Amino acid sequence: MINLETPRKFRPFVKQAHQVAEEFLRVNSRKYDLAEHAYPKELDLLAALVDGMGDSGQGQGAGAAGVRRDEDDGEKNAKVKNGTNMSSLLSIIEMCWADVGLLLSMPRQGLGNSAIASVANEEQLERFKGTWAAMAITEPSTGSDSAAITTTAVKDGDAYILNGEKIYVTSGDRADSVVVWATLDKSLGRAAIKSFLVTKDTPGIRVERLEHKLGIRASDTAVILLDNCRVPAENLLGNAEIDTKQGFAGAMATFDNTRPLVAGMAVGCARAALEDIRVLLEEAGVEIDYDRPLQTQSYAAATFISMEADWEAALLLTLEAAWLADNRKPNSMEASMAKAKAGRVGNEITLRCVELAGTLGYSEGSLLEKWSRDSKILDIFEGTQQIQQLIVARRLLGLSSTELR
């Protein structure tokens, strides 16, 4: 059974993560928001600290953990685990309390690292250890439907030839490798989609351009082209066999890990906004009383209490999804529930805080306006709000993707 308190063994780590977030990320937040595409050099030292914590067993960074189903689950009454998924989530919440874009820019902590951790075999886990992997899924003609990707991978001797275009690749320019999703056979649909680890020095892969964005401006977002890119066959992550019975489940296991992490990003960003607006409201003489009905309090106080309740719900759903992953329990529905709830209310909370702060919230004198811009992407990438609701509906009704679109 899940315990809603922060596990005791993680409390020093969470405290340390918050201190790092405050001293490294928050102080540089506005600087790199204004200097879009400039590499945050301060992160090199921070990445070294994170690597040190990971090597010492104190914790993992964003995307370092994975959801693996091929291990022995043990007895039904096995001891409850709080492992790398929970520690990654807790650290992400603290980091995104400071800055989402800078967290996404952390060396060796790309979303592609979650794909490696989730589907790679043991030999690949060891071989790709230490790489900084971006993840390339989205294409110009393929938005939230990851199963409709058209990038091809054709077997040629001891390699695969990849051709296609990927857009909105987070850390696509800075990362040293990219996990590319491609199809081995378009006629076989979802089942033929596999992921490949492509190093950036491989001939045939290139960054075409960097996108200018509304938020997370410290993070580089790239368009990547693959033109007869020859990738070693052993860089196909996991099993190369096409299993039409399993369908898309293997590739989608990556999202069981990354969606709770993105939900954690929204939870952290929204918490920052709630903390700031509470200070502003109290300075303005607004009394927030949890013992009185909302209708008897001021609009500002009632709005704040409602936002806190929504935030708490998002946090608990997110913790549950990570806990299930650590305990080798299916979490696909819970991961989508957490992503849907946190993504939506995170953006709603940051925007409402801007509204409550008035002119201060709309100016660069406060980080509230920045958090409202940053939070929007957290409701979009890793599957939009609508896609998450569709996944949850399929799980609840027991319907397939062809039966419920």
Query: What is this structure's pTM?
Result: 0.92
Q: Is the CB of residue 270 less than 8 Å from the CB of residue 310? A: no
CATH topology of domain 249-397: Butyryl-CoA Dehydrogenase, subunit A; domain 3 (1.20.140)
Neighbours of 91 (CB within 10 A): 31
Contacts of residue 261, defined as CB under 8 A and 6 or more positions apart, other chains included, come to 62, 63, 88, 89, 92, 114
Indicate the SS3 state at residue 172: coil
Q: At the fourth CATH level, which superfamily is domain 132-235?
A: Butyryl-CoA Dehydrogenase, subunit A, domain 2 (2.40.110.10)
Give domain limits for the chain.
8-124, 132-235, 249-397
Answer yes or no: 382 catalytic. yes
Q: Which two tokens stand for residue 313?
A: 């719900």
CATH says 8-124 is which class?
mainly alpha
Neighbours of 43 (CB within 10 A): 22
pLDDT tens by residue, the chain, 405 residues: 567 788 899 999 899 999 999 999 999 999 999 999 999 999 988 887 766 665 555 544 444 455 554 554 444 556 778 888 899 899 999 999 999 999 999 998 888 888 898 889 999 999 999 899 999 999 998 877 777 899 999 999 999 999 999 999 999 999 999 999 999 998 888 889 999 999 999 999 999 999 999 999 999 999 999 999 999 999 999 888 887 665 565 567 778 888 999 999 999 999 999 999 999 999 999 999 999 999 999 999 999 999 999 999 999 999 999 999 999 899 999 999 999 999 999 999 999 999 999 999 999 999 999 999 999 999 999 889 999 999 999 999 999 888 998
Residues 94, 320, 334, 382: which is the catalytic one? Answer: 382
Distances (CA, A) of 98 to 156, 173, 180, 198, 300: 47, 23, 30, 31, 24
